Amino acid sequence: MSKIDFSGRVAIVTGAGAGLGKDYAVELAKRGAKVVVNDLGGTRDGSGSGDTAASQVVDEIKAQGGEAVPNFDSVASAEGGENIVKTALDAYGKIDILINNAGILRDKSFAKMSEQEWDAVLAVHLKGTFNVTKPAFINMKENKYGRILMTSSGSGMFGNFGQANYASAKAGMAGLVNVLKIEGAKYGIKTNMLLPSAGTRMTEDVMPPEMFDKLKVEYITPGVLYLVSEQCQDSGAYINAFAGFFSRSQVMSGPGMMFGDKPTPEMVAENWEKIMSMDNPKYFDDVNQIMFDALQSDVVQKP
Ligand code: NAI
């Protein structure tokens, strides 16, 4: 098996001053990548800022003989996103790898959630991912090479109490991955999505201690390094990662039922079981495929 090597590659890792992002940055640098270590340096809820977190990670990388530069911008503004990308271009001239990892939490049950709590979380996770990915994607397109990783969450793809803002932002990333998989294809840009679970400051008070200890950050990083490597030829995949376990999640469609041109609510009710059936589910690469399949396929059952 060929070694995963990042010599000559330039990587941006957002929110790399702590937790998962820090481990990705350190391990990428150990394998030869030049890394932009971005971190706003705030608290878990996104308040405050400082340059210590990112600077310390850069010092650590350099002490191990690696190459890295810090960036202290917030991903939450378009200007911040542009600056993060500019830091990479000024220091190293290109971007090969982008790991959108920065994140905050403002948990509240939905009925109690304020507009401010909604907006702050969407701004960092979803808009923040747009803010950095857009300028990075343009550079990758010019170079006809790119590896982009979005950091989603099982909370967004499966649900979790008290995280309506966070889950919505994280599920929104799936939409972006679905489109970039298509728009980046002819430029050699592969975009995938990670659903991690790890013991960090984000989860220290929500996980029982014995679980926290099992979910080590360094168990996630090998999957991340593969996903942003040249070896990875997949695009559009959602990868679960925790405790040394990796798997794929995907939106699949059931066989369905074709009613033709005169469907009635009663026909839908009578055939609800078949409509809901997930027997022999199918994966579709884009929205046109599912319609084409339903209109053409003999598999679609008629009442
Ligand atoms: P963490 O809190 O240890 O690290 C997140 C980092 O992002 C912090 O260093 C923080 O300063 C930085 N950050 C926050 N807002 C920023 C902004 N506007 N601009 C730049 N940097 C900013 O958290 P952790 O656990 O390492 O999380 C990393 C990513 O993984 C996040 O996107 C999180 O939502 C996601 N995730 C983590 C899970 C876990 O179990 N730890 C579960 C699912 C997803």
Angle subtended at Cα 163 by Cα 252 and Cα 19, rounded to the nearest 5 degrees:
95
Look at strands 146-151 and 238-242 and give their pairing: unpaired
CATH of the domain at 258: 1.10.287
- What tokens were used for 229? 């490597």
Which of 202, 206, 217, 218 to mutate to test ligand 1, by most ligand atoms within 8 A of the CB atom? Answer: 202
Q: Are 186 and 145 in contact (CB under 8 A)?
A: no
Same domain, 102 and 201: yes
- What tokens were used for 126? 């979803």
CB of 165 within 6 A of ligand 1: the answer is: no
d(CA 60, CA 137) in angstroms, rounded, equals 28
Same domain, 65 and 106: yes
- For residue 226, the enclosing domain spans 10-249
Domain total of the chain: 2
13 Cα: distance to centroid of ligand 1 (angstroms): 11
Residue 39 CA, closest ligand 1 atom number? 21
Look at strands 10-13 and 245-249 and give their pairing: unpaired
15 Cα: distance to centroid of ligand 1 (angstroms): 6
Catalytic residue among 24, 92, 166, 219: 166
User: Has residue 105 been placed in a domain?
Assistant: yes
Exposed/middle/buried for residue 216 (C-beta within 10 Å: 0-12, 13-18, 19+): middle
d(CA 46, CA 104) in angstroms, rounded, equals 6
Main-chain phi, psi angles of 150, to 5 degrees? -95, 145
Same domain, 44 and 190: yes
Contacts of 204 by beta carbon, 8 Å cutoff, 6+ apart = 212
CATH of the domain at 157: 3.40.50.720
What pLDDT was estimated at residue 160? 96
d(CA 102, CA 107) in angstroms, rounded, equals 16
CB of 43 within 6 A of ligand 1: the answer is: no
What pLDDT was estimated at residue 211? 86
219 Cα: distance to centroid of ligand 1 (angstroms): 16
CB of 42 within 6 A of ligand 1: the answer is: yes
Q: Are 6 and 33 in contact (CB under 8 A)?
A: yes
- Edge-to-edge strand list for the sheet holding 97-100: 67-71, 34-38, 10-13, 97-100, 146-151, 189-197, 238-242, 245-249
pLDDT in tens, the chain (303 residues): 789 999 999 999 999 999 999 999 999 999 999 999 999 998 888 899 889 999 999 999 999 999 999 999 999 999 999 999 999 999 999 999 999 999 999 999 999 999 999 999 999 999 999 999 999 999 999 999 999 999 999 999 999 999 999 999 999 999 999 999 999 999 999 999 999 999 998 888 878 888 888 899 999 999 999 999 999 999 999 999 999 999 999 999 999 999 888 899 999 999 999 999 999 999 999 999 999 988 886 545 566
Out of 207, 231, 249, a domain closes at 249
Q: Are 222 and 181 in contact (CB under 8 A)?
A: no
Same domain, 289 and 237: no
251 Cα: distance to centroid of ligand 1 (angstroms): 25
163 Cα: distance to centroid of ligand 1 (angstroms): 15
Same domain, 211 and 96: yes
* Structure-token match 């309506």, residue found: 164
Specify which residues 196 forms β-bridges with: 241
* Among candidate residues 75, 48, 71, 57, the one with its CA nearest the CA of residue 20: 57
Same domain, 149 and 297: no
Pseudo-torsion of CA 3, 4, 9, 15, nearest 10°? -150
Q: Are 24 and 229 in contact (CB under 8 A)?
A: no
* Among candidate residues 282, 283, 275, the one with its CA nearest the CA of residue 259: 275
CB of 23 within 6 A of ligand 1: the answer is: no
N-to-C CA span, the chain: 52
d(CA 211, CA 224) in angstroms, rounded, equals 21
What pLDDT was estimated at residue 188? 98
Amino acid at 46: G
What pLDDT was estimated at residue 58? 98
Same domain, 180 and 280: no
What pLDDT was estimated at residue 45? 86
CB of 131 within 6 A of ligand 1: the answer is: no
Residue 123 CA, closest ligand 1 atom number? 18
User: Has residue 5 been placed in a domain?
Assistant: no
CB of 101 within 6 A of ligand 1: the answer is: yes
218 Cα: distance to centroid of ligand 1 (angstroms): 15
d(CA 84, CA 212) in angstroms, rounded, equals 31
Out of 222, 249, 276, a domain closes at 249
| Model confidence pLDDT, tens digit, residues 21-42 | 999 999 999 999 999 999 999 8
Residue 166 annotated in active site: yes
What pLDDT was estimated at residue 297? 64
Same domain, 113 and 132: yes
Same domain, 82 and 42: yes
Same domain, 196 and 263: no
User: Has residue 3 been placed in a domain?
Assistant: no
Same domain, 193 and 300: no
Residue closest via CA to ligand 1's atom 40 equals 197
Same domain, 191 and 298: no
CB of 18 within 6 A of ligand 1: the answer is: yes
Which of 13, 14, 20 to mutate to test ligand 1, by most ligand atoms within 8 A of the CB atom? Answer: 20
User: Has residue 4 been placed in a domain?
Assistant: no
| Model confidence pLDDT, tens digit, residues 103-131 | 999 999 999 999 999 999 999 999 999 99
